[in-house]
Amino acid sequence: MTRLFVYGTLKRGDCRAYLLMHATCLGEAVTAPLYKLFTHGPYPALVDAGRVGSTGMAIHGELYEVDAPTLARLDEEEGVDEGLYQRKPIKLVDQPAEAQAYFYLRSIESMSDCGDRWRVDRG
């Protein structure tokens, strides 16, 4: 099992939450203040703050325990093989065990900063 931190469309109630229907939700979680979150229209982009030469923020999301088949499906959905996202370790506060998250790999130049959590305007 892999512990996975999600911060956008995979969160409960969002458009791709169904991909985690066989995972165990461990509840809300917050990262160490080392990251930046941007919006790319209908989905978010998490990056290491050092990548953008900025001070990081504590990002709010949810933590799940995910089995290998679900993780493989998520990697496909997140475009890991296409170089869109990379799944790698993330530092969470008040969490003793390692967790992973999807980090955006492409340019964030034209994206807006989301602050500490991603919200999408659904009009």
In the chain, % helix, strand, coil (3-state, to 5) comes to 15, 40, 45
Active site annotation includes 78: yes
CA dihedral 43, 66, 98, 52 (to 10 degrees): -10
Q: One of 28, 62, 78, 82 is an active-site residue; which one?
A: 78
Give the count of alpha carbons within 13 A of 122, CB side only: 6
Neighbours of 24 (CB within 10 A): 12
Residues designated as active site: 78
